[in-house]
A and B are shown apart, each in its own frame.
Chain A
């Protein structure tokens, strides 16, 4: 029982070796490391590990139960696929920051107290921001700073909530918070978590930053931040009405933007908001079926969203372009990438036999059974938008549509293998849903392949397709961007710049001028005074002591005549004096 090894620490300490290795050896290491972590999770038995007391706080590093295991399972599985996809990358900085990022995410997943959650939470933010910065173009540097600002803000919300919660309850334990007793402290924690889950209106960091990340970095980013947030929400806030409503709003919000955006990876990023909306809604509905759905959807979503980012990333890697209005007709040159992308696209749209079909339906059925009819219908409308934007529009305009004249090659072998394996997993989960259902926190008594559910899904998908091809001209990509809430954070940043440039800088200048004219002059006068004092005061004293000593020395020199008889006489006088004094007393 004591032999529990934290899989997050495998990544965090494993990262330190990466820059020391090179070539083939590093590639092998980058596959062995996540495989070790995956094996570690597979062989774990539920329990509480790694608990100790630090400064009076009960720290729990390893709470292993069904809820944390299902997330850790997919996090580590995804890390293998992600590193395989990025195996050709020579920039070890990216691989190291991915390790810290995944390590942070696993740290949160197994954390049993808020202090541990918070530390790993921040580690995720700082690990992931380097996946943006390391693209090394001005747009990514700026987007990275905005991303960091958002996450620091979210971290502060969480910290404030934690501290207030500790003041109220006297406990740092990270456990379920009943909705009835939740006050300001608990809602601050909720808001901190919600920011990472990209819940409207705290979502703008996601579509702002993910499209600016490196090709391989985005594949990692789309998996961990939001799904870790779904996990912590499911842990602490199941059944919160506000989450059910906000989650459903997110599903629609995401697809509306995904329908009009032009940049491939921004379409996919907006669509993450939509998909995470399903999970947040599942957590908010809070029944066993819906919570199972949230976990299952997180699991399936991580795989197919990563697959979609891999496909879009392959196009960006090989053409250097990611805007749909600059792409088109690539199917002749990158057919395998297209096929794998489409597998991701039909998985996310919930085609029967693919993973989205068996996971999304748990949440929709959960909404229906809990009599949230309006939410259920809106969730189904969002799945119309999903197929429309990610399943049809994006691949149509990137691989078909008008020919853009580019003749790229297929991406490197390791990228194709990663896409192929992920595609297989999407198909496997769709064909054999038991494999996924058995991992879920509650027993599943739901059969996705019922006749009515099949009929409903097939109708929605077929007729969405019909609608798309009728209005395909209307959907032609445009070289434009769309306003979102990042407008405000950009405004805030510009405002801060202005504040720094104008009031702060002029204050700085004025102080400089004041210093130069007034302060400097006073200092010079003072310096002159001390120079005078030094010369006439201190030097005078020191010199006089020296003169005095010299005079004394001259006087004593008179005694030192050098004649031995004087010395003997002097010695005798002294001896007699001593003996005399001794005898008299």
Chain B
């Protein structure tokens, strides 16, 4: 079997995939409203959708911060060490 076929199958339906993922996000938010909170450890655990915001903002911050570091103090040419 050519295992690239199922991957191509998905690639040809990117739009549908996107809609599916957005729907999943909505579903996750609805589910979070209903989920019982027995194991709350701090304030964030009481706010519905907190972890969505956390994931999204955390991801953007990590990209910005680490790319910023790479472009200022960390990044060097590949032959830096000779």
Contacts and interface: CB of A to CB of B under 8 A. Distances in A.
A467 B39 contact: no
Contacts of B7: 331, 335, 338
B27 to A, nearest CB: 9
Q: Which of A371, A388, A484, A490 has the most CB of B within 10 A?
A: A388
Contacts of A260: 66-67, 69-70, 74-75
A461 B69 CA distance: 24
A490 B58 contact: no
B60 A471 contact: yes
Given A256-B65, A479-B78, A467 B59 contact: yes
B42 A460 contact: no
Given A450-B39, A451-B35, A483-B76, A259 B63 contact: yes
Contact of A470 (B28, B49, B60, B81): B60
Nearest to B36: A451
A465 interface: yes
Contacts of B77: 480-481
A462 B35 contact: no
A70 B3 CA distance: 36
B55 A459 contact: yes
Per DSSP, are chain B's interface residues mostly helix, strand or loop, or mixed? helix
B37 A458 contact: no
A486 to B, nearest CB: 9
B36 A256 contact: no
Q: Which of B38, B51, B81 has the most CB of A within 10 A?
A: B51
Interface string A443-477: 00000001111111011111111111011001100
A483 B72 CA distance: 11
B2 interface: yes
Interface of A: 255-257, 259-260, 331-333, 335-336, 338-339, 365, 368-369, 371, 373, 376-377, 380-381, 384-385, 388, 450-456, 458-468, 470-471, 474-475, 478-484, 490
A474 B58 contact: no
A327 to B, nearest CB: 15
B63 A455 contact: no
Q: Which of B28, B41, B62, B75 has the most CB of A within 10 A?
A: B62
A341 B67 CA distance: 25
Q: Which 10 A-B pairs have the closest CB atoms?
A: A467-B59, A463-B55, A368-B41, A335-B3, A460-B55, A463-B56, A260-B70, A459-B51, A384-B58, A482-B74
Nearest to B6: A335
